[in-house]
Structures are given as structure tokens and as C-alpha cells.
Amino acid sequence: MLTHIPFPPLPAPPSWFPGHMLQFQRMLPTLLNKTDVVLELRDARLPLTSINQNFEGALQKWKRERGTEFPTGIPPLRDASATTPVAGPSMGAACQRIVVFSKRDLVPEWGIKPFQRAMAAKYPDQKFFFASWNSRRDIKALNELLVNVAREHPHRPELNVLVVGMPNVGKSTLLNALRNIGIAGPTPKALRTSAHPGMTRVLSTRLKLCVEPLVYAYDSPGVMLPFLGKGDKGAERGVKLALIAPVFPWLLTYVEFSVRTETAGIKEGLYDTETLASYLLFRMNVLDPVSPAYLRLLPPGSPPVVYVQDFLELLAQRLCMLKRGGIPDTARAAVWFIKWWREEGGLASAAAPALPATASGIGLQSWRRGWGFDLEWTVDAAEFGRYDESMIQAKMEECMSRFEEAAAEEEREGGAISSTQEKKRAKEEQRARQQARTRARLAAKKGR
């Protein structure tokens, strides 16, 4: 087993923010005026990193304007001759924000309930739902959740749902699945889907999800952060997103081409696959330092590996990926490793236990544990005997608090804005000052 897992060095993150993302971001406040329910999709493996702060301001304003006019967001009914509210159907505007964590089958089951409770305690105005698009039961439960919201507002002719989130979290796939559950009979696929992000570039037409009651939904373009951050935090954020879903869709294609043609290096500004492999190796070791899922790829009896170069050499030999002279082809092995993890290894990693059964007998003073790619904490030897769901929830809440503190500090230090954006902002401010001076001079001349 591993007792020391060093954090790998990571490069600065590249940016990917096409014009259609900016366009949708500007449209969002107007769209929310016609929206009753926001389905915000996040990846269960990145429950914090996949929060898009660009949405927060617009969503919070929407909640304030539509959801807090009355204590519950629902105005009380009054009898014509009475001065006190009476019971009856809701007449208020629907205003629900439901955060759906996709790919629940790719995170350990033991952490789902503690995480849900931790999020509900921290964000009581939001609902949280875990789902796998492969599970009909999950899709049916989410469909029932939307139908219940519609039935709580029977005076409204229809319920309008807006689906938002980062690229490639499965928005179009979810809506196709909800439509299949909610509409009786054969339902053709209404929205195109792709393994690469960026397929949806404009707001979709209305998609009917249910007939009785009427529920409609809009698919939206995935929106990335314009800048992933500075320093180690930004570097790790970029690598996480690149691993979870190919946020940079040209990356693996280019690397595979480079490997086949044996060209040196990689296109400037993109991640080297060995960098992605090194972070993936680190994260899998944290998830299970005793028996990480990648051991099944190595020769039988191999111990866990700390350094990526050693691991890739072993993997290349195991897969017979050799260059001339029998030299292990680590570049090809890195591409294969990342592809394996996306297709099979994620499921294997999700089987990692909350705490290894041998934890108390090894004599370690503490264990480093993790859930998904965002949450990581230490379990002291004194806590081994009472390591249950309530303690896991407390550890997760600490992780969330640290995440929020780091995000606030990054915001104060200007870490959420790139140097290019800073220059652009400075030019806009200078232009605004010049225009103000020009208007002042013209006003002064006119007043003479």
C-alpha cells in the first residue's frame, strides 16, 4: 500500500470559451424570466469544480425575484370575505432550482447520501438529485420530481424547464431520456448528442417532456468558465475537466496522430497526455491506496505505483507498446490509460471502499481518503472505529467550506480573470473615461 502520494506538477490551463457560450451567458437573465424550473447539471465526479460561477448571479437574482416574494415562493389564497389565508391550490410562480449530478455510477455509493445531506445543509434553497442516464429508475424519479412541481401549480397551463451546465455533462442525453419516460409510445430521439462537447450551440426549440401535466424543456449550450484560474488551483481545475470529459475535443485526436507519426511534442497550449495520466494516477491512488483500480492493468502481484513514468513503462510493457530497441512507448500507453479510465476504469474506481478493511491493523496514524475528484480529507487513527456516514458528511462539509474560502480568496486576488481579460477591461474603462470627458466638453460648449 502507499503511505505517501506526492501531488504531480501541472501546467497552466488552456482556455476554451467560444462565442456561442458568451452569447448564451448574456441571454440567460432574459430566459430565466420565462423559466419555472432550472435543471443545473453537474458531474458527480466533480461536484464542486463543475459549478459554473457564471450562472450564479443570474440564478440568485431569479430566485430573489420569483422565489422569495412569499416565504415559500407560493402566495396564500384568500377568501373574498376573509382576512386570513385559506388553503387551496398554489397561485404563485413556480421557482425551483434542481441540481442534478450525472454519472452517479462513477462515484462510490457510500458517499452519495452524506454528500446530499451536506449540500442540503449548506444550500437549503436548492434540491439535489443523483442520476445515471443508464438507470431507467433514476430517470423516472427525476421525471416524477418535475411532474410533482407542475402539479403543485395546477393553475399554470404548463411548466417550463431550462437545462444548464458545463459542456459534456449530458444535458441533451438527459432530455431525450426524460422525453422517452414522460411521453407514451415510441418517442424518436429529439436532440442530437455527441461524445465531444460543444454539439449544442444554440438554445433548442421547446421539447415536450410530459403531456399531463404539460411540461416543456429547453436544452442550452454548455458554458465553460472563460478563465480556469491562476497558479496550482487553476492548473488542477483544468486537468480535472480535461480528464472527466474531453473539454478540449481536439486533444486526444491530435495526440493519437502525434503518436502514430512519432512527431515530437504536442501542439502548443494543449495538455500533454502524460500530464493527464500523472494526475489520474495520483487521484486513483488517493481513492484507494491499498488496491487502486489500475493494478488490474499491470503484471499480477504488482504493488501500487507512485510515479507516472514508472507506471507508464510497466503498462507499455504489459500492452507490448514498444518502440525500436524494446523501449516502452509511454506516450501511447498514456493515451491508452486515459481512454481505459473513461470507458472502464471509472466504474472500477467507484468500487473503492470508504475505508480499507485493514486500516486499523496497519499501524498508520492517518489515512488520506477521497470521493470523486473534488473531495479529499484525512482520517486519523482515533477516528477509524467511528468512521460512518455522519463523519463522512462532516468531512465533506469541511471540504466544501475550504472550497468556498479558496474561491472567495481567488476572487479577491483577481485569480478568476486572465491577464488578457484584465487588459481588455482596462481598455474598456479607458474608453469609457474618454467618452465621459468628450460628453462633458460638449455639454460645456453647449452651455456657453
**Exposure class string for 303-321: b at 16+ Cβ within 10 A, else e:** ebbbebeebbbbbbbeeeb
Whole-number Å distance between alpha carbons of 25 and 38: 15
Higher pLDDT, 160 or 412: 160
Supply 213's cell numbers.
401535466
DSSP state of 325: T
Q: How far is CA 390 from the centre of its chain?
A: 24
DSSP state of 322: B
Among 76-90, 308-322, 407-421, name the most confident range. 308-322
Q: What is the pLDDT of residue 11?
A: 82
Domains, in order of start, for the chain: 19-72+89-218 (3.40.50.300), 231-407 (no CATH)
* pTM of the complete model: 0.77
The pLDDT tens digits of the residues spanning 40-96 come to 999 999 999 888 877 888 888 898 887 554 434 334 333 333 333 333 444 567 889
Higher pLDDT, 227 or 376: 376
Give Cβ neighbours of residue 115 (< 8 Å, ≥ 6 apart).
47, 371, 375, 393, 396
Neighbours of 136 (CB within 10 A): 12
Furthest CA-CA distance within the chain: 95
pLDDT at residue 421 greater than cutoff 80? no
Q: What are phi and psi of 159, to 5 degrees?
A: -110, 125
Higher pLDDT, 314 or 245: 314
> Which segment of 186-190, 199-203, 340-344, 429-433 scores lowest on mean pLDDT?
199-203
Q: What is the pLDDT of residue 219?
A: 86
CA torsion sign, 248 to 249 to 253 to 256? positive
- Whose CA is closest to 248, among 274, 269, 227? 269
The pLDDT tens digits of the residues spanning 202-241 come to 565 678 899 889 999 988 887 777 667 777 788 888 888 8
Q: What is the pLDDT of residue 363?
A: 63
Whole-number Å distance between alpha carbons of 318 and 333: 10
Q: pLDDT exceeding 90 applies to what percent of the chain?
A: 35
Instruction: Please name the amino acid found at residue 318.
Output: R
Instruction: Please name the amino acid found at residue 92.
Output: G
Q: Which residue has the cell 470529459?
A: 245
Q: What is the pLDDT of residue 67?
A: 59
Q: Counting Cβ atoms within 10 Å, is residue 280 exposed (0-12), middle (13-18) or buried (19+)? A: buried
Neighbours of 240 (CB within 10 A): 25
Q: What is the pLDDT of residue 315?
A: 96
Segment 421-448 mean pLDDT: 77
Whole-number Å distance between alpha carbons of 372 and 111: 9
Neighbours of 204 (CB within 10 A): 18
Cα separations in angstroms, 271 against 10, 233, 255 = 9, 16, 9
DSSP 123-144: -TTSEEEE--TT-HHHHHHHHH
Q: Residue 377, SS3?
A: strand
* Averaged pLDDT score across all residues of the chain: 79
**Contact at 8 Å (CB) between 161 and 215?**
yes
CA atoms within 13 A of residue 142's CA, in its CB half-sphere: 31
pLDDT band at 146; cut points 50, 70, 90? very high
pLDDT at residue 435 greater than cutoff 80? yes
CA torsion sign, 98 to 103 to 105 to 107? negative
Neighbours of 50 (CB within 10 A): 23
pLDDT at residue 433 greater than cutoff 80? yes
Q: Is the peptide bond before 213 cis (omega within 30 degrees of 0)?
A: yes
pLDDT band at 166; cut points 50, 70, 90? confident
Percent helix, percent strand, percent coil in the chain, to nearest 5: 50, 10, 40
What kind and span of H or E run contains 209?
Answer: strand 207-210
For 395: left if phi > 0, alpha if psi spans -120 to 50, otherwise beta; the answer is alpha
E runs forming strands in 211-327:
215-218
Higher pLDDT, 143 or 20: 143
Q: What residues are paired with 85 via a beta bridge?
A: 78
Q: What is the pLDDT of residue 194?
A: 43
Instruction: Please name the amino acid found at residue 444.
Output: A
Q: Which residue has the cell 449530458?
A: 170
Q: Residue 86, SS3?
A: strand
